[in-house]
């Protein structure tokens, strides 16, 4: 099709409009509101989080408490749902309208942090003085504190006592079990529980890969990229294959099915499997959905000693602030209040995870549900077993678990050998990183 002058001008005009929009470049302030001058400390803050309606209610109550105590601050809440939250945040960031306060996740913090979208909270004096050891560093990237721990999380193995009893198997000693023993116990459970039930969900996710690697003196990520070599993950793929072959884990189709199920429909929660890996802040939801009280266990170790298992505290989520906020002081003040004040603690309790602030933890513990008290105890108990705090996944690292799962399924469906699967995983995980 020939292009005449008029068409060309139209096209040029459009391009000019885009270039002029400047949104593609970085300039301008946060779009949280029109509010300008803050000489009197007044500020309008946009506050975004994801969660279900319970969290929405808690968070709204805490916001109300804050604005009641600080009448010159107005807060516009932006609640959302996990999956779509990130689409919206990315679009807003591109349009220079990111919310001032952002509930952040470990999987994304370096994507935003290293690209300059987040505020260094320490520069504006965020207060983390009363935080438990190892809980602040989760949000630190290249020396800057881009996020403050909003609740402590740690990986656990949950076990269903009823199924253990039904199978006539004793609860394992989680301070001494190894990966192989885990497989043997799961195999025994599968055999004794009969068809339709099995000993364990797949535990071969990125969380426990991290644990497994740390026990070999490696890490999932270093600031330079992957913290391990192909040779380190080949045994991991082989171990998974052997667990599936022995019947400790379900077959490929069920593992594949399990990967897409929401928590409340998982095999473990509905009583089809006796063990599974969950984060500690999911225990209450698991118990609530299953109607049972699950046993909270440590994940296995290579040496058979819990003190060697290189446990860690992860931030269940973090509080970040937009680098382009017009009111950095006000935003950081709000974050400090959120993680340190009794008023905030009373509204939020441990809904986002056990608080990292030790005083706050002590204050709210009596108020917590039995499930959450059990979690708080577990988190305190494992303190001697903690290794170093893993760094946040670098940009492109958040998809590592998905990539691994794809190659694992290829292996389990008999399309590749374990070593090839491990190789494929390693190559793609490496090329996906942007460091």
**Which residues, 49 to 68, sit near another protein by CB under 8 A?**
51-53, 55-56, 60
Half-sphere exposure of 241 (CA within 13 A, CB side): 21
Q: Can you tell me the distance from the alpha carbon of 97 to that of 33, in angstroms, rounded to the nearest whole number?
A: 9
Identity of the residue, 131 or 278, whose beta carbon is nearer to another protein in the bound complex: 278
The token pair that represents 369 in the structure block = 């549900």
Q: Can you tell me the distance from the alpha carbon of 117 to that of 137, in angstroms, rounded to the nearest whole number?
A: 19
Judge contact between 259 and 251, C-beta under 8 A.
no
| Binding status of residue 432 toward another protein by CB under 8 A | yes
Q: Which of residues 68-127 bind another protein (CB under 8 A)?
A: 76-84, 86-88, 90-97, 99, 111-112, 115-117
| Binding status of residue 413 toward another protein by CB under 8 A | yes
Strands 73-80 and 43-50: parallel
Identity of the residue, 185 or 379, whose beta carbon is nearer to another protein in the bound complex: 379
Q: How far is the CB of 222 from another protein (least distance, A)?
A: 20
Rg from Cα positions in the chain = 24
| Binding status of residue 142 toward another protein by CB under 8 A | no
Identity of the residue, 134 or 424, whose beta carbon is nearer to another protein in the bound complex: 424
Identity of the residue, 218 or 261, whose beta carbon is nearer to another protein in the bound complex: 261
Judge contact between 239 and 216, C-beta under 8 A.
no
Q: Can you tell me the distance from the alpha carbon of 116 to that of 397, in angstroms, rounded to the nearest whole number?
A: 17
| Binding status of residue 380 toward another protein by CB under 8 A | no
Identity of the residue, 143 or 291, whose beta carbon is nearer to another protein in the bound complex: 291
Per CB under 8 A, the segment of 218-226, 259-267, 300-308, 361-369 that binds another protein is 259-267
Per CB under 8 A, the segment of 119-127, 130-138, 307-315, 404-412 that binds another protein is 404-412
Q: Which of residues 235-254 bind another protein (CB under 8 A)?
A: 252-254
Helix axes 53-69, 328-340, angle to 10 degrees: 110
The phi, psi pair for 188, rounded to 5°, reads -65, -45
Identity of the residue, 155 or 172, whose beta carbon is nearer to another protein in the bound complex: 155
| Binding status of residue 194 toward another protein by CB under 8 A | no
Binding residue for another protein (CB under 8 A) from 17, 71, 170, 384? 17
Identity of the residue, 232 or 351, whose beta carbon is nearer to another protein in the bound complex: 351
Identity of the residue, 13 or 194, whose beta carbon is nearer to another protein in the bound complex: 13
| Of residues 315, 356, 318, 352, the one with CA closest to residue 335 | 318
The token pair that represents 428 in the structure block = 């793609």
Buried b (16+ CB within 10 A) or exposed e, 202-219: bbbbbbbbbbbbbbeebb
Judge contact between 78 and 47, C-beta under 8 A.
yes
Q: Which of residues 26-45 bind another protein (CB under 8 A)?
A: 26, 31
| Binding status of residue 24 toward another protein by CB under 8 A | yes
Binding residue for another protein (CB under 8 A) from 409, 417, 419, 435? 409
Q: Which of residues 277-306 bind another protein (CB under 8 A)?
A: 281-282, 284-285, 288-289, 291
| Binding status of residue 265 toward another protein by CB under 8 A | yes
Identity of the residue, 20 or 143, whose beta carbon is nearer to another protein in the bound complex: 20
* Backbone φ/ψ region at 382: left (φ over 0), alpha (ψ -120 to 50), beta: alpha
| Of residues 295, 300, 296, the one with CA closest to residue 161 | 295
The token pair that represents 189 in the structure block = 């459970």
Question: How many residues does this entry show for the chain?
Answer: 435
Binding-site size, another protein (CB under 8 A): 81
Q: How far is the CB of 51 from another protein (least distance, A)?
A: 6
């Amino acid at each position: 099709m020939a292009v005449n002058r008029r068409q060309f001008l139209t096209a040029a005009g459009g391009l000019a409009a885009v270039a002029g929009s400047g949104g593609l470049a970085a300039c301008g302030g946060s779009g949280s509101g029109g509010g300008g001058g803050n000489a009197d400390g007044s500020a309008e803050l946009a506050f975004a989080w994801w969660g279900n309606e319970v969290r929405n209610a808690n968070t709204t109550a805490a916001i109300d408490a804050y604005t009641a105590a600080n009448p010159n601050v107005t807060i516009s809440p932006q609640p959302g749902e996990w999956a779509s939250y990130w689409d919206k945040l990315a679009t807003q960031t591109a349009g220079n309208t990111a919310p001032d306060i952002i509930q952040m996740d470990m999987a994304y913090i370096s994507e935003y942090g290293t690209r300059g979208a987040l505020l260094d909270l320490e520069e504006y004096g965020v207060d983390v003085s009363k935080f438990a050891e190892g809980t602040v560093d989760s949000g630190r990237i290249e020396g800057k504190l881009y996020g403050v721990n909003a609740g402590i999380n740690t990986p656990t193995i949950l076990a269903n006592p009823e199924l253990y009893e039904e199978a006539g198997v004793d609860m394992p000693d989680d301070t001494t079990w190894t990966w192989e023993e885990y497989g043997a116990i799961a195999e025994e459970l599968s055999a004794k529980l009969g068809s339709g039930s099995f000993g364990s969900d797949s535990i071969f996710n990125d969380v426990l890969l991290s644990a497994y690697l740390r026990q070999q003196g490696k890490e999932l990520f270093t600031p330079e990229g992957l913290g391990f070599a192909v040779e380190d993950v080949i045994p991991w793929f082989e171990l998974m294959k052997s667990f599936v072959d022995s019947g400790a884990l379900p077959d490929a189709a069920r593992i594949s099915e399990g990967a897409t199920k929401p928590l409340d429909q998982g095999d473990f929660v509905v009583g089809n499997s006796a063990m599974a890996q969950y984060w500690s802040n999911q225990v209450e939801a698991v118990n609530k959905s299953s109607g049972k009280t699950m046993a909270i266990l440590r994940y296995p170790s290579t040496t058979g000693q819990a003190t060697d298992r290189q446990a860690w505290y992860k931030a269940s989520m973090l509080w970040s602030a937009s680098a382009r906020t017009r009111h950095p002081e006000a935003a950081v003040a709000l974050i400090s209040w959120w993680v340190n004040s009794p008023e905030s603690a009373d509204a939020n309790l441990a809904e986002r995870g056990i608080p990292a602030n030790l005083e706050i933890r002590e204050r709210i513990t009596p108020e917590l549900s039995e499930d959450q008290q059990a979690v708080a105890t577990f988190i305190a108990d494992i303190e001697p077993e903690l290794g170093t705090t893993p760094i946040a996944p670098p940009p492109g690292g958040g998809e590592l678990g998905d990539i691994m799962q794809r190659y694992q399924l290829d292996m389990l469906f008999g399309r590749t050998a374990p070593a090839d699967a491990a190789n494929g995983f390693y190559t793609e995980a490496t090329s996906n990183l942007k460091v």
